Amino acid sequence: MGKEFASAAARWCHLLADLPKPEIVAVCDPAPGATDWFARHFHPRTVTDDYRVLLQDESVEAVYCAVPHHLHEELYTAVLRAGKHLLAEKPYGIDLAAAQRIEAERARHPDLLVRCAGEFPYFPGARRIEELLAAGAFGKIIEWRSGFLHGSDLDPLKAINWKRRVAACGEYGCMGDLGLHTVHIPFRFGLRPKNVRALLSKIVEERPDGKGGMAACETWDNAVLACESEQGFPMIFETKRIAPGEANTWYIRVHGTELSAEFSTKYPKTLRTLPYVQGKTQTWREEDLGYTPIYPTITGSIFEFGFTDAILQMWAAFVDELSAGTPGFGCATPEEAMLSHRLFTAALTSQREGSVVDV
């Protein structure tokens, strides 16, 4: 993801918006050779395997910190103590306690901008649903569904990685890695879960350890969270690492008394809507949206929008807010991340007790 951001910075000329251009001045990674690509393409003044050295570089104003979950607390708090703005990765701490300690440090630096990365709200289909939510176009919401589905982990011979280890990924498992993506938009519009009944699944019990043996998979593969919203309608959130046939599918589905709408990155140009008119036939409509981002670019509206475009738009929103602008849709806030922690913590209790748990 660090490479994705650096690539987006290199494409800044793609944007027509009048925004400050980010400059890659420092990179850090403890893995041998991991910084070579950055050094070759961006020639940063600081290249190091020690984050403390990076944070001592006075030319660094903001840090994008993409690390495994068990490192969030240590590195995020260090970034804040160094007086740097932060774009963090989800879940913003390995668990609720870690997130609370990060928040305590953030409170000591009210002048710093802290946000969490999330690309999918910047797809044109997602943006249209956000606009419809802001306009109250759905009427009374009947049901909310959103999810993030992967399929590659269906292969039982796929080698184990840190996301299968509780020590690195946390007990949340797939919820911690994917969950903030599914709740970002409803949380932004005040649609929040009151309680949760969680159905969590461990499907592949062990995987090759890369050393000729097998290692136990400790974290949850799939999660379905059935919630009652504070407004009284059902909310269903899915995060699945074993969803047959899915590569990297994010979706959102909102059903209302006056309008329903659906969007999925599986069909990135298509928005489905169903306006309800009394006495008329109920018919889903499909609309090709084309390239219609928040921040205008050199790309014509007839062309397709993709993941790298969403990354660029997300970074434009962060830089816009960092420069005292007003982004069309801002990155996830720490408050939204904290609410997701309360939801996932309640989900673990629900699974353990087989009960509905208040969020």
Report the mean per-residue pLDDT for the chain: 96
Average pLDDT over residues 158-185: 96
Given this model, what pLDDT does residue 279 score? 85
Given this model, what pLDDT does residue 280 score? 85
Q: Is the pLDDT of residue 341 over 90?
A: yes
Q: Cα separation of 337 and 187, whole Å? A: 9
CB 77 within 8 A of CB 102: yes
- Which amino acid, 110? P
Four-way CATH pick for 121-294+334-358: 3.40.47.10, 3.40.50.2020, 3.40.50.2300, 3.30.360.10: 3.30.360.10
Q: Cα separation of 83 and 112, whole Å? A: 7
Q: Is the pLDDT of residue 325 over 90?
A: no
CB 12 within 8 A of CB 32: no
Given this model, what pLDDT does residue 244 score? 96
Model pTM score: 0.95
Average pLDDT over residues 277-282: 87
Q: Which SS3 state, helix, strand or coil, does residue 65 take? A: strand
Q: Which SS3 state, helix, strand or coil, does residue 98 take? A: helix
Give ranges for CATH 3.40.50.720 in the chain.
2-116
Would you state the structure tokens that stand for residue 358, as one six-digit string? 């208040």
Q: Cα separation of 230 and 198, whole Å? A: 17
What residue has token string 């993941």?
307
| DSSP assignment of 340-351 | HHHHHHHHHHHH
Given this model, what pLDDT does residue 152 score? 86
List, for residues 85-124, the tens digit of each pLDDT value: 999 999 999 999 999 999 999 999 999 999 999 999 999 9
Four-way CATH pick for 2-116: 3.40.50.2300, 3.20.10.10, 3.40.50.720, 3.60.20.10: 3.40.50.720
List, for residues 309-323, the tens digit of each pLDDT value: 999 999 999 999 999
Q: Cα separation of 321 and 173, whole Å? A: 31
Give ranges for CATH 3.30.360.10 in the chain.
121-294+334-358
Would you state the structure tokens that stand for residue 161, as one six-digit string? 């990685």
Average pLDDT over residues 74-87: 98
